[in-house]
Structure 1
Amino acid sequence: WGGFLMVLPVVFYSALPFYRGAWRDWKNRRVGMDTPIAIAIVMTFIAGIYSLATNAGQGMYFESIAMLLFFLLGGRFMEQIARRKAGDAAERLVKLVPAFCHRLPSYPESEAIEEAAVVRLNIGDTIVVKPGEVIPVDGTVLSGESEVNEAMLTGESLPIVKRPSEKVTAGTLNTSSPLIIRTDHTGGNTRLSHIVKLLDRALAQKPRAAELAEKYASSFVFGELLLAIPVFIGWAWYADAHTALWITVALLVITCPCALSLATPTALAASTGALAKDGILISGKQSLETLAQIDDVVFDKTGTLTKGQLSVSRMLHAGRLNEIQALAVAQALEQQSEHPIARAILNHTLSDGPVSALDVKVQQRVNRIGHGVSAQIEFDGETQVWALGKAAFVSEIAGHLPEAFAHIDHTGGIIFLGNQSGFQTAFLLEDQIKDSAAEMLQNLKQHGIRLHLLSGDRQAAVAQVAQELGLDAYRAEATPEDKLAYVENLQKQGRKVMMIGDGINDAPVLAQADVSAAVATSADVARDGADVVLLNDDLNVLPVMMEQARRTHQIIRQNLTWASAYNLVAVPLAVFGYVTPWIAALGMSFSSLLVLGNALRLLKTKKAV
C-alpha cells in the first residue's frame, strides 16, 4: 500500500508527457515512441492494483514503474539539454538587441536625448549609440566615426570602422565613440531578424535522413507492439501471468527506438548551431546531407571571388598633366556621384601628395548615364570643358583617341580623362580578388572538388581571374539563362553541384543547384532563396563547412549503426526474459544518451585539412 500511494504522482503526473504523446499519435493514426512506453506503464500499474486488491503479495511492480520513469525522464532531460545547446544560436541572436535606446527626436536642430523602446522606433527615426552599447536597428551613420564589432553576426573578430553614410546592423557592438544613426529597418525587417528566421526554419525542418529514420522507427514500434502479444501469451502459458507481464513490459521499454529517432536530428542540430557561430547559416532542408556529396563548386565572380569594389590600379598619361593634377580634376568631376567607378576615383590616393591642395572649380556639370560626366572647369589658370568616361564620350570633347591609349593591354575597365586640348589620362580599373579566395580554392581542390567560374563579365577579365586562381573551368559573358544551362549540364553528368553567388541574376541558378550559397553582400532575393548564407567575407569558411558536413554524415552513420545494433541485441534478450523493466529503462536511456553524446561532438567545427 505504501508503494501504491508513493507511485500515484509518478503515474498521474510524471508520466503525462508519454500519455500525451501516445494520444497524439493515436489521433494521427500512427504509432510513435511514446506509445509502447504509455502501454507499459498502464499495464504495469493495472496489474499492480489487481495484485493489491486480491492480496497476491507479489507481482506489484510499483517500484519498477517509478524506476522506469526516472530513467526515461532523465534521458529526456539530457536530450533537451543537448537540443537546447545545439539549437541556441537563434536564441543568442535574439538576445543581442537591447530593449531600449537613446532617441534624438529633434535631430539635427537639437541633440536632446530621450529614452525610447526599440519596438516603438519607426523608419527615419534618429538614435545615438554610445560606446559599449549594442546597435538596436539596421541604419545609416549620419554623424560620428567609430569601430563596430560584428563578430556576433559574422564571426569577424576585428572591429570594422564605420563613418558617415555607411550602414550598420542591429546586434553589433559600438566600441569606440558615439554614432548618430538614422533608422532604416526595425524589428522583424532587420538583417538580424532575417538570420533568426533562417535558423528557425533550418532547425524546424526535417531532412530526408531524419524522415526516413522516423518512418522506420514508426514501423519498428508497430512491429514491437505486434510482437508483444505472442510474447505475453507464450510466457503466460509457459510460466504465469505475472512473469509474462514483466517480460512484456521490459520488451516494450527496451526496444523503444528513441536512439534511432534521435540519431539524425540531433547531429544536424548540433552542426547547424556550430556553423552559425562561424557565420554560416544553414537554411535548406537537405543542405548538410547534400554538402557531404558535392563534386563541383560553381562561383560567380564579382562580389563572390572578387571584392566587388573597383579600384584604380594604374594611371597612364598622354598629355601635359601629372598624376596629382589628373587625379584632382577627375575627383572634382566625380564629386557628386555614387557610381562604383566614381567611388574608385574618389578613393584613390597618391604617394606623391594630396590632391586637395589644388584649386579646381567646377561649373555646369553634366552626367550622361552609362557614358560619363562632363563639366566646365577652371584649373591651372585656364577654363575648359573636361570629360571623364568612356573613350567615345570623351572623344566628343577631346577629339581622336591617341595611339598611346588605343592598344592598352588591360583586362579590367578603362576610363579616360580629356579636355578640349585632347586626351590627357587613362585610369585603369580592376576588381581585386578577395584575400581568402586562393587558400580556400586550394583547400577545396585537395578534396577532389572541381572548381568553375560563371560570370557575365568580359572574356579577358574572367579568363584572368580563372587563370590566377587555377580554376578548372570558366564561362564569361554568361546570361542568367547561360548559367542555368551550365549547372543543369553538370547535373546531367551525375555531378552534385554547389553554386555560390550574390546577385539578383544568380537567383535562378542558385535555385537549380543541389546546394546554393549566398555571400554576405548578396541581394535579398539571392539570400532568401539560398540554402546557405555566408555572413562574412572570409571564404575560408567554405572548406570548414564542407568538412563539417562530412563529419555530420559520418556521425549520423555511426549513430544509426549503434541504434540498429542495440535493437538487434535487446529484442532477443527481452523476449527470452533476461531483462527486467528497470534494466530495460536503463538500457534504453543509455542508448539514447550515447547517441546524443556522439552527436554533440559536432558542436565544435574543425578546420579542413
Structure 2
Amino acid sequence: MFLETLCKINHMFFDKTGTLTQGDFSLLKCITYGSYSEAECINLAAQLEQYSEHPIAQAFHQQQQAHLNLSAVKNMPSQGLQAQYQGHVVKLGNALFCQVETPLKSGEQVIYLTQGSQLLAAFELGDKLRESATEISDYCHNEKIETTLLTGDISLKSEEVAELLHINHVIKGVTPQGKLHHLQQAQKKDKVLMVGDGINDAPVLAAAHISVALATGTDIAKNSADVILLGEDLQKIITLRQLAQKTRTIIKQNLAWALGYNLLIMPLAILGYVPPYIAVIGMSFSSLIVVSNSLRLLK
C-alpha cells in the first residue's frame, strides 16, 4: 500500500523554514521603536527564544546577556512566544501575532517584539535556501507533480522562496490546524506527500498520505512521519520515489513471469507432455529468474 501510494503521488506540500531553507538563521538587523535600547531588545528576545525549539531561536542563542525574570511563558506554534515581564505581556513573533499594523517590507524574514500594545523592535533574520531544494522542485515540475508551500511565516520571504523554486501555490501565515485543513482539502482529489521538520508540522505529517521528516527536525515531527531522511538532502525524496517506481515494475514483471510459467507448464505436466523432473527443474529455474530480476534493484 505504501509503495503504490508513493508511486501515485501527484501533489507535494513543503514547509519552508528548516525544510526548503537551511534553518540556520542569523540576526541581520535590529530596528528599535520604544524606549529600550537595541542591546536590551536583543537580550529580551534572546531570553524568550530560549523556550523555543524553532530554528529562529538559533539566531539569538549567542545574544543572551543579563538574565531577565520572565514568567508564564507560552510557545504558540507558527506564531511566536509570549510571557509576562515587569507586569506586562511581551510577545515575540510574526506581525499578526504581535498585532503590528504596518509590518516592515523586507525580503528577509521579520519578527517583532512588543510589550503590551507598544512595538519595541523588529528583527530581520537571514536564512539561505537549501541547494537540494532546486532539484526537488525541478523534479516535481518534470513529473507534473503539483507543489504547495505551506508555512506559518507571513513575511515576503515566503513569496521569494516560492518564486525562486517556481512553486505552484503559497499558503502562508497558517497555524498547525490551518495546515491540516489545507492538506485534507487537497487529499480529497490528490495523493499528497508532505515534507516538514518542525513541531507545527506534526499534524500534517501524521495526516498526509506519505510524509517525510528531515533528520534535523524535531522529535515530534520525526515520530509523526512515515519516512525520516538520513541527512538534509531533499534529493533523497526523488531517490525514494524512483526506487518505489522501479520496485513496483520489478514486482509486476516477477508476477507476470511466475503466472505465465505456471499457466504454461502445469497443464503440460498434468497431461504428461512434460516429465515431472523437467517441471521441477523448470520451477527452480523460474525462481532463479525472479530472484535475479529482483537483485537488479541493488544497482
- TM tier, smaller: 0.7 to 0.9
3-state SS of the aligned residue for 1:307? coil
Q: Which has the higher contact order (CA 8 A, sep 6+)?
A: 2
- Equivalent residue, structure 1, for 2:290: 595
User: Residues 301 and 365 from structure 1, CA distance in 2 versus in 1: closer, same or farther, beyond 3 angstroms?
Assistant: same
Establish whether residue 510 from structure 1 lines up as the match of residue 225 from structure 2.
no
Q: Is contact 1:413–1:430 with CA below 8 Å preserved after alignment?
A: no
3-state SS of the aligned residue for 2:159? helix
Cα distance in structure 1, aligned partners of 2:45 and 2:147: 41
Cα distance in structure 2, aligned partners of 1:480 and 1:364: 32
- Equivalent residue, structure 1, for 2:277: 582
* AA aligned opposite 2:232: D
Moved over 6 A (4+): 325-329, 371-375
1:478 Cα deviation after fit: 2.1
User: Residues 504 and 335 from structure 1, CA distance in 2 versus in 1: closer, same or farther, beyond 3 angstroms?
Assistant: closer
> Which of 236, 239, 242 is the equivalent residue of 1:547?
242
Cα distance in structure 2, aligned partners of 1:364 and 1:522: 29
User: Could you say which structure has the larger radius of gyration?
Assistant: 1
User: Residues 561 and 300 from structure 1, CA distance in 2 versus in 1: closer, same or farther, beyond 3 angstroms?
Assistant: same
> Which of 418, 426, 433 is the equivalent residue of 2:129?
433
- Equivalent residue, structure 2, for 1:524: 219
Length-normalised TM-score, structure 2? 0.74
Cα distance in structure 1, aligned partners of 2:56 and 2:206: 31
For residues 472-528 of structure 1, the C-alpha deviation after alignment (integer angstroms, 9 at most, x for no partner) is: 1121122333323322322322x2111222334433323332212222133334333
Cα distance in structure 2, aligned partners of 1:519 and 1:475: 21
Once the two structures are superposed, the pairs formed by residues 496-507 of structure 1 within 5 Å of their partners are 496-507=191-202
Establish whether residue 451 from structure 1 lines up as the match of residue 166 from structure 2.
no
1:347 Cα deviation after fit: 5.3
- Equivalent residue, structure 1, for 2:260: 565
1:407 Cα deviation after fit: 6.6
Cα distance in structure 1, aligned partners of 2:219 and 2:103: 40
Q: Is contact 2:23–2:56 with CA below 8 Å preserved after alignment?
A: no
Cα distance in structure 1, aligned partners of 2:296 and 2:67: 67
Q: Is contact 1:412–1:461 with CA below 8 Å preserved after alignment?
A: yes
- Equivalent residue, structure 2, for 1:59: none
* AA aligned opposite 1:590: F
Q: Is contact 1:287–1:531 with CA below 8 Å preserved after alignment?
A: no
RMSD over equivalenced CA pairs, Å:
3.6
Q: Is contact 1:440–1:539 with CA below 8 Å preserved after alignment?
A: yes
* AA aligned opposite 2:144: G
Establish whether residue 413 from structure 1 lines up as the match of residue 110 from structure 2.
yes
Establish whether residue 287 from structure 1 lines up as the match of residue 2 from structure 2.
yes
* AA aligned opposite 2:105: D
Q: Is contact 1:331–1:346 with CA below 8 Å preserved after alignment?
A: no
Structure 1 unaligned blocks of 5 or more: 1-285, 319-324, 349-361, 376-387, 392-405, 417-422, 605-609
Aligned length: 266
Once the two structures are superposed, the pairs formed by residues 67-466 of structure 1 within 5 Å of their partners are 286-314=1-29, 330=42, 334=46, 338=50, 343-345=58-60, 365-367=68-70, 370=81, 408-410=104-106, 411-414=108-111, 427-458=123-154, 460-466=156-162
Q: Is contact 2:27–2:59 with CA below 8 Å preserved after alignment?
A: yes
User: Residues 407 and 594 from structure 1, CA distance in 2 versus in 1: closer, same or farther, beyond 3 angstroms?
Assistant: closer
Cα distance in structure 2, aligned partners of 1:308 and 1:593: 49
1:556 Cα deviation after fit: 1.2
Q: Is contact 2:133–2:234 with CA below 8 Å preserved after alignment?
A: yes
3-state SS of the aligned residue for 2:128? strand
1:572 Cα deviation after fit: 2.6
Cα distance in structure 1, aligned partners of 2:151 and 2:44: 33
Cα distance in structure 2, aligned partners of 1:296 and 1:333: 38
User: Residues 330 and 440 from structure 1, CA distance in 2 versus in 1: closer, same or farther, beyond 3 angstroms?
Assistant: same
1:471 Cα deviation after fit: 0.5
* AA aligned opposite 1:438: T
- Equivalent residue, structure 2, for 1:267: none
Cα distance in structure 2, aligned partners of 1:336 and 1:489: 35
3-state SS of the aligned residue for 1:594? helix
User: Residues 329 and 479 from structure 1, CA distance in 2 versus in 1: closer, same or farther, beyond 3 angstroms?
Assistant: closer
Cα distance in structure 2, aligned partners of 1:464 and 1:498: 22
1:345 Cα deviation after fit: 4.1
For residues 226-274 of structure 1, the C-alpha deviation after alignment (integer angstroms, 9 at most, x for no partner) is: xxxxxxxxxxxxxxxxxxxxxxxxxxxxxxxxxxxxxxxxxxxxxxxxx
* AA aligned opposite 2:153: D
Cα distance in structure 2, aligned partners of 1:364 and 1:481: 34
* AA aligned opposite 1:514: H
Q: Is contact 1:296–1:497 with CA below 8 Å preserved after alignment?
A: yes
Q: Is contact 2:214–2:231 with CA below 8 Å preserved after alignment?
A: yes
Q: Is contact 2:47–2:67 with CA below 8 Å preserved after alignment?
A: no
Establish whether residue 476 from structure 1 lines up as the match of residue 191 from structure 2.
no
Q: Is contact 1:333–1:373 with CA below 8 Å preserved after alignment?
A: no
Q: Is contact 1:309–1:431 with CA below 8 Å preserved after alignment?
A: yes
3-state SS of the aligned residue for 2:187? helix
Cα distance in structure 2, aligned partners of 1:333 and 1:455: 22
